[in-house]
Chain A
């Protein structure tokens, strides 16, 4: 068996590089196929990197903290004592900040001189996401209490989080002197920055806004909540359905009727999707992710509600699997819960459109020629003009409004 270079695998759909978060094998360990080798922080989540090859781990080329591009080597597997210098000097081994390779085998005599020296610990490269500075005691407390230290502001030297920063009492009144801090980008923020910049710079966006009478939708939701509450067994939490769950179902129904909006641009063609896979934007600690509700047009409101809640929980704990974030066909972003009336969203490539949803607000509406107290909801569709023209987008919104204003369609169709 020849020594084999293990490449950084693609662990998420949009992953272009990954940062080694932990090694679960050390040099000299036996590796079987599917053994957990390392954990890799990708743009979306911390992923498991499992072995495709068996053998002995001869060298770790990318120590913890190293950012490695896809396809670049992170480790070498082979037979103890074999010469790994040829493999270790391949061009696709990370050049920076790769440390010298670790010794090939416990028996130093068998290792070639060029790779015989043990690797010194390599400092985290400048491009790595910021390390939370915290005292060891704070880290222990955070482990014990399950605290997310990225949410805590450190007041010690160099922003170190010290024990007092975890105290329940609010921080001292802000200083009148303006100050700022540089927070290096996490992998997720880097991905957001790159992909949305790319989207806004290369995708010709245009925007269509429509107001919807949300009175019937609100009434339907109230009815559903009441029914679910009375249906719940004693002592159990009733199932929940939100306005957003109803809206997602309505979007799916409308897309099924206007499939030209369930499409994406692909260089020399437009790809029309047969199935509606809705990407739902979920805010997480350090940014946002878009887990996908598959085949939403063929799922009931309750099914969608349950699935969205499960996906959101996974997203917030960084446990989403890559396939749960891959290959959506249309995105929905809802900022209504933050009190936003309306907004325009940036398209999530390579999808062809995204719908921005505001809050349901009390407003006078004209109904049957009379002004009455009512509820309104503003929807803004961002379209990739290469795929969707104004008239197509407008017909989708008209279909969506009709569905929302006659919400039994949501339940029945």
Chain B
């Protein structure tokens, strides 16, 4: 085990996969000479040179499409968007090209590509830079969407993503890049998709989450423990494929669930989780499933208002009160 930050774990995964497979290359805005907008790719240009670590113009649709085209003929691009917010101008390339070419071509072609970027809220970056974009993309068959919360998962899942033969959308978090944790030293270590992680075991209520707010849930679980409530925290890690068995298992243990995520309440991953739980574990539910997510407004700039909009521990605690009939 080596202690490293999430950004180092991501970098290690990319470097190992590029060493392993010459068809893997990295492109994006500021990934090379600038060393990465969030320093995830620091040092990679020097190691691999400009043919494999490629600075792009600000042309998301153009370089996303280019990477998809390269993947169609066997390269394995890693596309770094500066943030997932900017993928919205490449939405068509991801949704209409990457996701559909396998099917439109009758299975003749496929697109082994990774799109990765920080996602969700940061700190006071305003409404256009605070999107949780996974809700848009997880809707689309043909795409896989993953969102790790720890350095080990960031490392193991990015390696899995790069080796996957289908488009993988990899959702990171700016506020997690500096999070430290143990990462296995074994270069063969990978984390499969579609397997949730029990981040904390508990018996009274399940907090189901992924990415940054897993840590919010863990904090909430500590506070609940002081009240005598034993909360289980589920880190989904993978949104599509979604670990249905883990959802059923945790609800079967606790009979109460709160889904916590960034992004708005209308539709999206949280609604999908609630659907699976009510459909697959109906008899296990002692209370309707609650959701804690962004308030249903664009993200405000003001710090206090932003804090109000983003899921916080206190809102998780309130939701737990509701599902445990403690009010």
Contact = CB atoms under 8 A, between A and B. Distances in A.
Interface of A: 135-140, 155-157, 162-164
Contacts of A139: 283
B283 A162 contact: no
Contacts of A162: 286-287, 325
Nearest to A137: B286
B325 A136 contact: no
User: Which 7 residue pairs spanning A and B have beta carbons closest together?
Assistant: A137-B286, A140-B283, A135-B286, A163-B286, A137-B255, A136-B285, A136-B283
A163 B287 CA distance: 9
B91 interface: no
Interface in B286-327: 286-287, 325
Interface string B147-170: 000000000000000000000000
Contacts of B283: 136-137, 139-140
A156 B327 CA distance: 9
Contacts of B282: 136
Given A135-B285, A136-B284, 6 more contacts: A135-B255, A135-B286, A137-B255, A139-B283, A162-B287, A163-B255
Interface of B: 255, 282-287, 325
A136 B285 CA distance: 6
Contacts, number: 28
Contacts of A157: 325
Contacts of B285: 135-137
A168 B314 CA distance: 32
A36 to B, nearest CB: 25
15 contacts: A135-B255, A135-B286, A136-B282, A136-B285, A136-B286, A137-B284, A138-B286, A140-B284, A155-B325, A156-B287, A157-B325, A162-B286, A162-B287, A162-B325, A163-B286
Contacts of A140: 283-284
A162 B287 CA distance: 8
A138 B283 CA distance: 8
Nearest to B322: A157
A165 to B, nearest CB: 9
Nearest to A164: B325
Nearest to A138: B286
Contacts of A164: 325
B319 to A, nearest CB: 15
A132 to B, nearest CB: 15
Contacts of A138: 286
A139, A163, A164, most chain B CB atoms within 10 A? A163
Nearest to A156: B325
Nearest to B326: A164
A295 B28 CA distance: 96
A288 to B, nearest CB: 34
B45 to A, nearest CB: 56
